A and B are shown apart, each in its own frame.
Chain A
């Protein structure tokens, strides 16, 4: 039976001196996991001039921030970041290491798992600590890595029982952001960085980034459309309804794939997870990947022509019918009542 360190590490992704939301969400979840394990929550911050981010992690429960701060580390690059983190993880062998399932996290985490020959589960929608009986062996305090699989038709619980480092990536918005009233009195541990020629063989020639102005996570009302709307014209009705009732427009993955809406407005497992006061799902059948991103909304209205659509299973109110007729009616009645 292997012995496992009880510490939980979170890789803090940062851009331009700001931590990614998903990293702070993971600290909030990591704090609870570390508490259950009787271990410490530690943040790993890599960048240049990012001491302020290391300090910010204390507000989300980290008791220690491992800080690799160097001009060569200013921008994320696979080889330098993975070398720094692989060496750290290999040296301390924390029991749990978590990453955001962002493009960066999905580029970095597998490289580290391969280096330390450990297990990694992608895109988890839940994490738990539990004792597990697996193949007649009893394991204490394993990390349950829970994710939809097989096109979303099943929910799989993955474990890595025979390795000491359990790794997972988690999508943005899945875990709740829970800052503490009073930050932990944590300490910053400086990680020395010795540049190596391998770190800089891949060069960044240019970078263009436009931070999205869309804030689905903060919107109290979201009106989402799906492939069932059929055409871009019908999707405009969704936008019209959102504008009328003061909501943000969103879409399912199928709606994004069909070009009805931009990817930054996608709700679901591969998009954003939201918990608004009101979520209206129109022409969305409700595959598990979509439901995973919206089922915790306070009130859900489903509008769909198929009475058997799974979306009705999570809805509080269901309207069966043609969206192209129901939406204009909704808009008219709303305007009459709330003029």
Chain B
């Protein structure tokens, strides 16, 4: 039997490695200069799902909502060992906050159906909100275990999970299905398998297949899609229409939070006093701090 896991993954701008050119003079961010990467905690979540599959059998599906180029992270998931991948993409999803994102994801998950686990990273590095997991769980009406550190065991229809709490940890037992968000140090993601890289580097989404047919009247998209499906190289692609969504709950329209103002973090030229890195300089500094009654 085994367990069916769905893993939520996200492609994120590499905010940890921002260079000067990325920040424009007016203080906005030039996103095109930022490399897009696989959010690390989501990779860890995929590893946890793959370990469930290794230990108990079953399958692992991955989903991402994002622009067409987000298929890159889905291919990386296939390299690691995911059985199938879904790209949820539509222009009408753009500008979604966590509420709108969790709505679309939860509807996509309902469509895939029959899951035992939903795994996701605790949070993504572009927003650091940690909200999409719990909001997806709420919409699906399933319990959630956030900040998970370890799956202790799975017993038929229940899972026992150790999670972080303030100043310690707790061990919870939850019925399945359950949504689990995973901390980065919980498990170590496996490397890609060379054989899988060779095979799945050619996996394509519907949009990517459509590109192939452009200007080639001999290629028909439906036929191409079936060929790729037969070779297990088709990345399932879902748009607004496939999911029959309420447009008012998607993208900008479905997002109650709005960015009112963005300010670049420019340091005001605070004039600090320069202290020489030697005995005399430091001695003077300590004298000043004594005068201020900080020392002594």
Chain A residues with a Cβ under 8 A of chain B? 15, 20, 78-79, 82, 102-104, 106-107, 109-111, 113-115, 117-123, 132, 134, 144-145, 148-163, 201-212, 220-221, 245, 264, 270, 277-278, 288, 298-299, 301-302, 310, 312-322, 325-326, 329-330, 332-334, 337-338
Instruction: Determine whether the beta carbon of A79 is less than 8 Å from that of B143.
Output: yes
Q: Which residues of A contact B29 (CB under 8 A)?
A: 150, 153-154
Give the distance in Å from the alpha carbon of A79 to the alpha carbon of B139 in the complex.
13
Instruction: Determine whether the beta carbon of B144 is less than 8 Å from that of A163.
Output: no
B136, chain A: closest CB distance, angstroms:
8
Q: Which residues of A contact B292 (CB under 8 A)?
A: 299
Q: Given the known A-B contacts A78-B144, A150-B126, A317-B285, are A114 and B99 also in contact in the complex, defined by CB atoms under 8 Å?
A: yes
Instruction: Determine whether the beta carbon of A106 is less than 8 Å from that of B15.
Output: no
Give the distance in Å from the alpha carbon of A5 to the alpha carbon of B280 in the complex.
61
User: At the interface, yes or no: B272 with Cβ under 8 Å from chain A?
Assistant: yes
**Residue picked from A202, A221, A278, most chain B C-beta under 10 Å:** A202
Give the distance in Å from the alpha carbon of A149 to the alpha carbon of B126 in the complex.
7
User: At the interface, yes or no: B268 with Cβ under 8 Å from chain A?
Assistant: yes
Instruction: Determine whether the beta carbon of A329 is less than 8 Å from that of B282.
Output: yes
In the complex, which residue of chain B has the Cβ closest to the Cβ of A155?
Answer: B263
27 A-B pairs within 8 Å (CB atoms) are namely: A104-B166, A107-B147, A119-B99, A150-B15, A150-B29, A152-B15, A153-B23, A157-B259, A161-B258, A162-B256, A201-B175, A207-B171, A212-B167, A270-B128, A299-B289, A301-B275, A312-B272, A313-B267, A317-B272, A317-B273, A317-B288, A319-B281, A330-B286, A333-B279, A337-B283, A337-B286, A338-B296
Give the distance in Å from the alpha carbon of A121 to the alpha carbon of B286 in the complex.
43
Give the distance in Å from the alpha carbon of A213 to the alpha carbon of B267 in the complex.
34
Instruction: Determine whether the beta carbon of A106 is less than 8 Å from that of B166.
Output: no
CB contact list, B159-189 vs A, under 8 A: 160, 164-175
Instruction: Determine whether the beta carbon of B277 is less than 8 Å from that of A326.
Output: yes
Give the distance in Å from the alpha carbon of A122 to the alpha carbon of B289 in the complex.
38
Q: Which residues of A contact B138 (CB under 8 A)?
A: 82, 110-111, 114-115
**Residue picked from A277, A278, A312, A334, most chain B C-beta under 10 Å:** A334
A-B complex: 8 closest residue pairs judged by Cβ atoms: A151-B15, A313-B267, A119-B256, A321-B277, A209-B168, A114-B135, A110-B131, A110-B134
Chain B residues with a Cβ under 8 A of chain A? 13, 15-16, 18, 22-23, 27-29, 97-99, 102, 125-135, 137-139, 143-147, 160, 164-175, 255-265, 267-270, 272-279, 281-283, 285-290, 292, 294-296
Instruction: Determine whether the beta carbon of B168 is less than 8 Å from that of A207.
Output: yes
Number of A-B contacts (CB under 8 A): 240
Give the distance in Å from the alpha carbon of A339 to the alpha carbon of B157 in the complex.
67
Instruction: Determine whether the beta carbon of B264 is less than 8 Å from that of A154.
Output: yes
Known: A114-B102, A221-B294, A301-B285. 15 other contacts (CB 8 A): A78-B143, A103-B165, A103-B166, A110-B134, A111-B137, A118-B99, A119-B99, A119-B256, A149-B262, A158-B257, A207-B168, A301-B275, A313-B267, A314-B267, A318-B273
B185, chain A: closest CB distance, angstroms:
10
A228, chain B: closest CB distance, angstroms:
15
A291, chain B: closest CB distance, angstroms:
9
Give the distance in Å from the alpha carbon of A95 to the alpha carbon of B265 in the complex.
30
Instruction: Determine whether the beta carbon of A102 is less than 8 Å from that of B169.
Output: no
Q: Which residues of B contact A159 (CB under 8 A)?
A: 257-258, 260
**Residue picked from A110, A316, A338, most chain B C-beta under 10 Å:** A110
Give the distance in Å from the alpha carbon of A38 to the alpha carbon of B283 in the complex.
53
Q: Which residues of B contact A325 (CB under 8 A)?
A: 277
Instruction: Determine whether the beta carbon of B135 is less than 8 Å from that of A110.
Output: yes
Give the distance in Å from the alpha carbon of A207 to the alpha carbon of B163 in the complex.
10
Question: Among A206, A210, A277, A333, which residue has its beta carbon within 8 angstroms of that of B283?
Answer: A333
Give the distance in Å from the alpha carbon of A110 to the alpha carbon of B16 in the complex.
25
B31, chain A: closest CB distance, angstroms:
9
Instruction: Determine whether the beta carbon of A202 is less than 8 Å from that of B174.
Output: yes
B150, chain A: closest CB distance, angstroms:
13
B255, chain A: closest CB distance, angstroms:
8
Q: Which residues of B contact A154 (CB under 8 A)?
A: 27-29, 262-265
Q: Which residues of B contact A156 (CB under 8 A)?
A: 259, 261-263
Give the distance in Å from the alpha carbon of A330 to the alpha carbon of B295 in the complex.
13
A274, chain B: closest CB distance, angstroms:
15
Q: Which residues of B contact A288 (CB under 8 A)?
A: 265
A21, chain B: closest CB distance, angstroms:
11
Question: Among B18, B23, B257, B295, which residue has its beta carbon within 8 angstroms of that of A121?
Answer: B257
Give the distance in Å from the alpha carbon of A109 to the alpha carbon of B275 in the complex.
47
Q: Which residues of A contact B256 (CB under 8 A)?
A: 117-119, 160, 162-163
Give the distance in Å from the alpha carbon of A183 to the alpha carbon of B294 in the complex.
34
Give the distance in Å from the alpha carbon of A79 to the alpha carbon of B13 in the complex.
33
